Amino acid sequence: MIKKIVDLTQKLVCYKTTSDNYEELNRAINFIKKELDDFLIEEYEKNKIKSLLIYNHKPKNNKKFRIILNGHLDVIPGKSSQYISKIVGDRLYGLGSLDMKGGLSVIVCVFKELAKNLSYPLALQITTDEETGGFFGTKYQIEKGVIADFVITAEPTHLDIVYKAKGIIWLKLNFNGKSFHSAYPWNGKNAIEKANNFINKLLKIIKNPKKNQWKTTVNLANINSNNKAFNKIPDNCELWLDVRFTPEDKKILNKIENLLSNKNDLKILVNEPSFLVKKNNKNILKLKKITKDILGKNPVLRGANGSSDARHYSYINVPAIEFGPKGGGIGSDNEYVEISSLSNFYLIMKKFLLELND
């Protein structure tokens, strides 16, 4: 089976599936459809973004799928040479090999192998816009009523169980002052200094950690002002903030708003939820046990700083986790996935799905 998985991963890497390459994404979608043409396939499309829902049988009486296995075909852009995969030892190199065509190949293969023999409804959800937010893939399918007891998205997690992730808020804040000639600063009010005062207050409620810790963080991405003249006191200043908040710190936006005298000064560009699944969720406990059986040690349960499509399920209170293979080099010229970890991931998923059948 691992040969099939490696073969499928290599085939998928060849598709130049960056988020704006609709033609190539379509070709990849058609390839997957052909691979799984024995099953029921629903095709979704919104804003030119296609996604698939493939399943063994429909949940009875409009009920939930028992499990959804989620994966995405789109990749972040890289050099053209990276679309040719190569194997060196245990490593399969190629753009998207780890994020996440390797993990996707495992869930496709395990679905194909088992789905017909499972008594419960199992779905494979394949999207093409995770890297750009997942709004027209996973989120759109959820809006259309797709629902499950438990969702696993096969993002690369080193076979750790990612049961929580930070939310994202992108803000633009505007500060106004009073312009005047700079030789007479007492007659004006400097808007950039007002913004700086706000930052001082902000840093009291968000303390950026110096190393990786489960804490809310803020990135000050931009400060700017319309003022172009040295000898003028600027009367406006804009701040751009990228806030990553933990699920334990859901009220952060309110706290930031309370720092401002005028809420109109704040514009929310992105407000994406965090997610948190209970550690004692029965599916997590089962997955933990099986992972221990296969790997010989307990998997790590941890949070993620970045986001994934799993967060969209928090809107409908469906527990969704990230769980997938090991590798490295995402965003570099040398992205790779470890073949042995693809194999372990496959064994874990197979056992997990079969045990649910009992």
Interface residue list for other proteins (CB under 8 A): 166, 168, 170, 181-186, 190, 192-193, 196, 199-200, 208-212, 217-225, 227-234, 240-242, 244, 269-270, 305-307
Q: Which amino acid is at 349?
A: M
Kindly state the smallest distance separating residue 201's Cβ from other proteins, in Å.
Answer: 13
* 200 vs 357 by CB, closer to other proteins: 200
Measure the CA–CA gap between 144 and 21, rounded to whole angstroms. Answer: 25
* 1 vs 199 by CB, closer to other proteins: 199
Kindly state the smallest distance separating residue 231's Cβ from other proteins, in Å.
Answer: 5
State the residue for tokens 């696993």.
Answer: 152
> Backbone phi, then psi, for 220, in 5-degree steps?
-85, 100
Contact 324, 154 (CB under 8 A): yes
C-alpha separations of 113 from 138, 241, 283 in Å = 24, 46, 21
* 267 vs 278 by CB, closer to other proteins: 267
Kindly state the smallest distance separating residue 168's Cβ from other proteins, in Å.
Answer: 8
* 80 vs 212 by CB, closer to other proteins: 212
Measure the CA–CA gap between 71 and 94, rounded to whole angstroms. Answer: 17
> What residues does 219 pair with on adjacent strands?
242
Torsion on CA atoms 259, 265, 269, 274, rounded to nearest 10: 10
> What residues does 280 pair with on adjacent strands?
none
* 59 vs 167 by CB, closer to other proteins: 167
Count the Cβ atoms, other than its own, within 10 Å of residue 143: 15
Under DSSP, the state recorded for 210 is: S
Kindly state the smallest distance separating residue 221's Cβ from other proteins, in Å.
Answer: 5
Kindly state the smallest distance separating residue 244's Cβ from other proteins, in Å.
Answer: 5
Kindly state the smallest distance separating residue 180's Cβ from other proteins, in Å.
Answer: 9
> Backbone phi, then psi, for 39, in 5-degree steps?
-115, 175
CA-angle at 117, arms to 28 and 342, nearest 5°: 50
Kindly state the smallest distance separating residue 129's Cβ from other proteins, in Å.
Answer: 17
What SS3 class is residue 174?
strand
Kindly state the smallest distance separating residue 233's Cβ from other proteins, in Å.
Answer: 6
* 55 vs 198 by CB, closer to other proteins: 198
Contact 292, 298 (CB under 8 A): yes
* 197 vs 357 by CB, closer to other proteins: 197
Contact 177, 188 (CB under 8 A): yes
* 81 vs 230 by CB, closer to other proteins: 230
